[in-house]
Amino acid sequence: MNAHNCFPPASLPDAEILILGSMPGRVSLEKNQYYAHPRNLFWHFMQLFFAIDVNAPYQERISDLNKNKVALWDVLSQCEREGSLDVNINIQTEQANDIAGFLSQHKGITKICFNGQKSFSSFKKHILKKMPELEQRYELVVLSSTSPANASIPREKKLAQWRNALLSVSG
């Protein structure tokens, strides 16, 4: 099993939405970029919603996303996993990021979106278990993973879920 560490959060203090993944996949880790796999739909969706050029340099895409008040991070700070699939994460090695600390520094966040079931299950296990009040304080939205491994859900269905979540901020 290979040990993996997540990236630092990509955010500005005025963020309103936090998107949480579980742990970056192999291609993302190699490129040191969130959602770097060419078949991952994440940046394609961001292009549709926020006019972020999917072909722009990574830092420009992150900056544009942050300007739209969207922050990115992962629930897990580290874990052991073979390959890229969430199903291969050794749950005994999961260590969570300080999501509560992050939220206390980003008071404008009202919605937390989970990019796939694994990010939400890890959030429940490591964060909500210790701080169940977060469930009342934030709108928690579990979305279909944008990963190419999640091919059983049609792209249009994923797109509709993501559009609804990101373009309707409660407040």
> Would you please indicate which residues are annotated as catalytic (active-site) residues?
40
Distance between CA atoms of 161 and 159, rounded to whole angstroms? Answer: 5
Q: Which residues contact 76 (CB under 8 A, 6 or more apart)?
A: 6, 22, 23, 89, 94, 95, 96, 97, 122, 126
Output the CA angle 9-169-158, nearest 5 degrees: 75
Q: Where are the alpha helices (DSSP H) in 5-154?
A: 26-31, 42-50, 58-67, 99-105, 117-123, 134-137
